[in-house]
């Protein structure tokens, strides 16, 4: 197990280094352009300025959508962690028939195109005549967030020594107390990891939001997308003149 650098090893590290560069380059680029004072893409950058951040935070459109995205994401995190953790407990501990199939069903929103989930929900809401309510958006995001919580919680539950719970029960703790003092603290890392995923999934959710947001009630990704597309229409003059808001968004 020596650390000598033969050609194979060298190629391995060079390739991996290139991959990390590929992953981080766009993020570095966004940071550079966010601080660049010109209103169009100027490369190499000509200076440092915070004007785009000021513009972003003083724009009512961006602030309203940012606020909406945050509120939706918080509600989604709460719903998804509760529903997902409960389902994981039921699957791992409930002796349910077909637990494997149930897991596959609950994970399926990750495998099926999310844009179809958005379309299907939109069609149901239209047929039912309820339009596009905010709770519909929250439900759509929750559907995609639950699988993450379920997966992380199930992973913890599988690695979990059940004898700890049995010991607590043998020592006289009622089931509720075993759950509160033994099970819950042990699965908490899994649930919390799932909750973090749930937040990201909701905050960055695009395909479902695309169908379920109402005009003037759009989430931040949808607003930014429309902003860029609008900018593309004006591309003749300065392709990216209108993209200022984005430069600030990367800091969020």
Partner 1 sequence: MKAHARAGVSGIAWAIVPAALLFVLFFALPFGVMAALSLLSGNPVSNPNVAFTTRNYARLIDSDLYFDALIATLRIGVVTTALALLIGYPLAHWMARMRSRLGHALLLMAVIAPMLTGIVVRTFAWMTLLADRGVINTTLTWLGFIDKPLPLMYGEFGVVIGLVHIYVPFMVLTLVGVIGRIDPALEEAARNLGAGRLRTFLEVTLPLSLPGILAGSLLVFALAISAYVTPVLLGGGNVLTLPMLIYQQVSASFNLGFAGALGVVLLAVSLMLVVAYNAILGRLSGERRLA
Residue 139 engages partner 1 in binding (rule: CB under 8 A): yes
Residues 3-22 that bind partner 1 (CB under 8 A): 8, 12, 15-16, 19-20, 22
* Cα gap 101→158, rounded to integer Å: 17
Query: Are the C-beta atoms of residues 194 and 187 closer than 8 Å to each other?
Result: no
Residues 154-173 that bind partner 1 (CB under 8 A): none
Q: Is 54 or 130 the residue whose CB approaches partner 1 more closely?
A: 130
Could you give phi then psi for residue 5, rounded to 5 degrees?
Answer: -105, 80
Q: Is 54 or 105 the residue whose CB approaches partner 1 more closely?
A: 105
* Cα gap 41→228, rounded to integer Å: 14
Q: Is 50 or 135 the residue whose CB approaches partner 1 more closely?
A: 135
Residue 246 engages partner 1 in binding (rule: CB under 8 A): yes
Residues 57-76 that bind partner 1 (CB under 8 A): none
Residue 52 engages partner 1 in binding (rule: CB under 8 A): no
What contacts 24+ positions apart, CB below 8 Å, involve 75-78? 75/138, 76/138, 76/141, 76/142, 76/145, 76/198, 76/199, 76/201, 76/202, 77/145, 77/195, 77/198, 77/199, 77/202
Residue 232 engages partner 1 in binding (rule: CB under 8 A): yes
Residues 198-227 that bind partner 1 (CB under 8 A): 200, 203-204, 206-207, 210-211, 220-221, 224-225
């Amino acid at each position: 197990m020596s650390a000598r650098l033969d050609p194979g090893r060298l190629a391995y590290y060079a390739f991996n280094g290139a991959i990390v560069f590929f992953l981080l380059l766009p993020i570095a680029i966004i940071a550079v352009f966010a601080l660049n004072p010109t209103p169009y893409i100027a490369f190499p950058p000509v200076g440092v300025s915070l004007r785009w951040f000021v513009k972003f935070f003083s724009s009512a459109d961006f602030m309203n959508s940012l606020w909406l995205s945050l509120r939706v994401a918080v509600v989604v995190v709460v719903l998804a962690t509760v529903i997902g953790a409960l389902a994981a407990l039921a699957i791992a501990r409930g002796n349910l028939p077909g637990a494997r199939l149930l897991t596959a069903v609950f994970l399926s929103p990750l495998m099926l195109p999310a844009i179809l989930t958005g379309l299907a929900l939109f069609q149901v809401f239209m047929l039912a005549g309820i339009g596009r309510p905010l709770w519909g958006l929250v439900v759509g995001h929750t559907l995609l967030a639950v699988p993450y919580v379920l997966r992380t919680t199930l992973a913890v539950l599988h690695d979990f020594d059940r004898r700890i719970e049995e010991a607590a029960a043998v020592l006289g703790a009622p089931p509720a107390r075993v759950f509160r003092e033994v099970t819950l603290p042990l699965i908490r890392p899994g649930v919390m990891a799932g909750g973090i995923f749930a937040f990201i999934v909701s905050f960055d959710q695009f395909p479902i939001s695309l169908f379920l947001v109402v005009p003037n009630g759009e989430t931040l990704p949808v607003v930014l997308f429309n902003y860029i597309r609008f900018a593309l229409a004006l591309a003749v003059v300065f392709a990216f003149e209108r993209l200022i808001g984005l430069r600030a968004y990367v800091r969020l």
